[in-house]
Chain A
């Protein structure tokens, strides 16, 4: 491990207080729902009570007559995008699908699908008006379970969706919108070489990202045609683009002001409310605010796919894996799109398999359109692979850690979907497990067990911009476009501070609106600290270049003769500090503004391993997590508290996924538990302290070695927990969640 020691750096690896901290502990921080305007109208959305139905007619006349109602809209108020396809920053999107998800056109495809919207003096008046909208539905049979939706005779969601099978379109329309196939080596030979072959099937329920802040947007369509939007989003530029396309105006006529965001986890990238608020504003001539209620969040926004995964692994008696075969089917929900690609990528991403095939299917069904959720697709497949691997360890009587170490990917290993790994930290993470106090601590007692699982997420690069203005008081104002969900302002400021030899407090980071900063992709893919961090480092170098020139003016020399060490510029025994030079900048020349844009085309490859100790109550089937440790390669932990926080938060989300969280659907496709009371996310009483071990194998594509850390931590928990349950009880839980009733039943049947 050639981890950088923290004393190589002055700022990186320290734990300064976040720049937006005081605002956030005093209630002053402005989140999306906190914006207020004069003449503000409040909107509400009418949602479908049916999971699948044709809209025969909508009559809004009575609603329009309610005193205090300013505007009522339906899909007819949106321009028809026809069959236009747009690249909105995350690959091509069929606009009619995006638009029909925002406001149903012709058909409703899930319970909670938006069909009309009202703007009024208050939400209460808007609600009254919603009750008066008459929608005539022809109810159709819904299909919920992914394998049912794949059947030949399944109810068909879209007449115009055909299976895209590795670029070839099917002849007949189908709910299966995509089939991916990857192979490596010779699968037959691989299984022939194996001494043991195990194949198992796994199911997972739909789960929600569960951010505490509901979706919110306020739009003001000005008389001059400029549309301004204040919203909670992971990506203000993608909201700008999506909204402009859906309301039919050039994107330069839209300005998006990102508010503080109360969690996203992938679920706040697609637009829901922004285009609706925009059209209500245009129609009413007022700014309009839309805020979802919690049931609307559950029923109308992205859960992550429910899934069916079949994994087959072959191994020699010494534990060497010879072959792997996976068959993966994910819910797309109401419209095409979803993480089947990453699912295929991640199913065997931790192990060096000489022979493998992977087939993935993405399937439309009558659930809300699925959205990204932290390492989308990876958790489902790691749950399957890690459990099969654990069974192999058991059958061969091998240590589960040694089995993983023996097969772990390293630099040069080729993944089944193609890429060859650069320098990665999979082995180092497993070695950290081996050396950890937790792994070596005894765990005794009946119905107690320990589980270990590995997880991977590739982590994006994408595009970022940054501007840094040097102030005459020696500080720097950093302007960037990555909305800050978990302390990224500070992790970016720290990188600029390290570059310039300043303190974190001498940098003032600001997240700017879409008119005030260069194009920046979403806060997602665990990319911000890495990619926006790269932009920030480059902007710092740009500042140094300009300051060197000013120092050259001061000393009447060539800029190349000036050396920079920390915040000191020197030449021939003369030296001047950053602060002094900053103070003189307006006398010496032009104002100093650093700028940079980046588009790193690489993955930062994050590996993590989790250790879970559980105790199962055989009377109730309830699993208690006794002890939990997350180990992860962060490349370089810029602000260790925020790295630990990502590891802990992801682990607990994963524990919820493993043990409790699921959408319960009735036969009519209606969600039965659309509240935080019944959709049971972990409370602080449900979990222990989450111990963390940060491993640092520097990423060669970043000056400080940063890797993305945000997503990997949700990948191992369902696997680690179910393996621990197996070790505690002898039963394998091959369906998530391993909730008390399900586990109790399994124990009875064992």
Chain B
């Protein structure tokens, strides 16, 4: 077994240190070492988006990032979206809009959708579909996911204006 490597990073606003083997993916580190099991594994090869996290402000598939690569990085996972005991509007809209059935894809969609709305607060339906095309959902047919992102966009717009 190879020697473990020490990594210092910031996850959901908190400084975190962990040890990992060179072959461990960020997803494995989050789930198995840090107990942050909100990020899901659907494919382990970058095809489903269930493991999406924000890495230095950019959504990435955490199964495609190595744990050792996040030295000094800032990471946000689904566990960091709700703040101070309050759901974020995107989470609230997903619940009100019934955007989840089994819910396994939901963490990835929430992270990706939040990233989209931060970059583009008024996305068209086409832009929402394009930006979420890296996240697979097998249950919903996407209709209610897209509508919930639209609802969150208008709600966020109201709160900022």
Spell out A's residues near B (CB within 8 Å): 15, 17-18, 20-22, 24-31, 33-34, 36, 67-68, 124-125, 209-214, 260-265, 291, 293-294, 485-487, 639, 641-642, 644-646, 648-653, 675-677, 681-685, 687, 689-690
Which residues of chain B have C-beta atoms less than 8 A from A485's C-beta?
101-102, 139
B15 beta carbon closer than 8 Å to chain A: no
Count of chain B residues with Cβ under 8 Å from any Cβ of A?
60
Judge if B65 is at the interface, Cβ distance under 8 Å.
Answer: no
10 pairs, A vs B, C-beta closer than 8 Å: A25-B82, A27-B107, A29-B103, A211-B138, A261-B102, A263-B138, A265-B138, A646-B101, A652-B141, A684-B142
B136 — which chain A residues lie within 8 A by C-beta?
A: 212, 676, 681, 683
A255 vs B125: C-alpha distance when bound (angstroms): 47
Query: For residue B138, which residues in chain A have a CB less than 8 angstroms away from its CB?
Result: 209-212, 263, 265, 649, 653, 681
Q: Tell me the smallest distance from the CB of A628 to a CB of chain B, in Å.
A: 9
In the complex, besides A211-B102, A486-B139, A683-B135, 6 extra interface pairs with C-beta distance below 8 angstroms are: A17-B96, A25-B94, A294-B45, A485-B139, A645-B101, A689-B143
**Judging by beta carbons under 8 Å apart, are B139 and A17 in contact?**
no
Chain A residues near B137 (CB-CB < 8 A): 212, 684
**What's the Cα separation between A645 and B144 when bound, in Å?**
8
Tell whether, in the assembled complex, residue B104 and residue A213 are in contact, meaning their CB atoms are under 8 Å apart.
Answer: yes
A25 near B43 with CB under 8 A, answer: no
Does B5 reach chain A (CB closer than 8 Å)? no
How would residues 16 to 41 of chain B score, 1 for a CB under 8 Å from any chain A CB and 0 otherwise? 00000101000000011001111111
The B interface, classified by DSSP as helix, strand, loop or mixed, is: loop
Which residue of the partner chain, among B81, B107, B141, contacts A649 with CB atoms under 8 Å? Answer: B141
Q: Contact mask B124-148 → A, CB, 8 Å, 1/0?
A: 0100111011111111111111110
With A33-B41, A214-B42 as contacts: A684 and B98 at CB distance below 8 Å: no
**Contact yes or no, B129 A685, CB < 8 A:** yes
Assembly CA distance A328 to B78 (angstroms):
47
Nearest to B146 among chain A residues (CB) is A684
Q: Which 10 A-B pairs have the closest CB atoms?
A: A27-B38, A262-B104, A652-B141, A648-B141, A641-B98, A676-B47, A486-B101, A24-B103, A684-B142, A34-B37
Contact A487:B101 (CB < 8 A) given known A36-B35, A645-B144, A649-B139: yes
Q: Which residues of B contact A294 (CB under 8 A)?
A: 42-45, 47-48
- Closest residue of chain A to B108 (Cβ to Cβ) is A212
A689 touching B146 in the complex, CB below 8 Å, given contacts A212-B50, A675-B43: yes
Asked if residues B141 and A651 are in contact (CB atoms below 8 Å), the reply is yes
B95 contacts chain A at the CB level, 8 A cutoff: yes
Cα of A106 to Cα of B42 in the assembled complex, Å: 32
* Interface assignment of B156: CB less than 8 Å from any CB of chain A: no
How far does the alpha carbon of A261 sit from the alpha carbon of B42 in the complex, in Å?
A: 12
> In this assembly, does B91 line the interface, its C-beta being within 8 Å of a C-beta of chain A?
yes
Q: A31, A213, A260, A294 — which one has the most chain B CB atoms within 10 A of its CB? A: A213
Please state if B38 and A263 are interface contacts (CB–CB under 8 Å). Answer: no
Known: A15-B98, A26-B91, A294-B43. A648 touches B140 (CB 8 A): yes
Q: Which residues in A have their C-beta under 8 angstroms from that of B105?
A: 212, 262
Instruction: Provide the bound-state CA to CA distance between A36 and B33, in Å.
Output: 10
Q: A263-B102, A684-B146 are in contact. Are A213 and B40 (CB under 8 A)?
A: yes
Contact B47 A25 (CB under 8 A): no
Residues A214 and B41 in contact, CB atoms below 8 Å apart: yes
Q: Say whether A676 contacts B48, CB under 8 Å.
A: yes
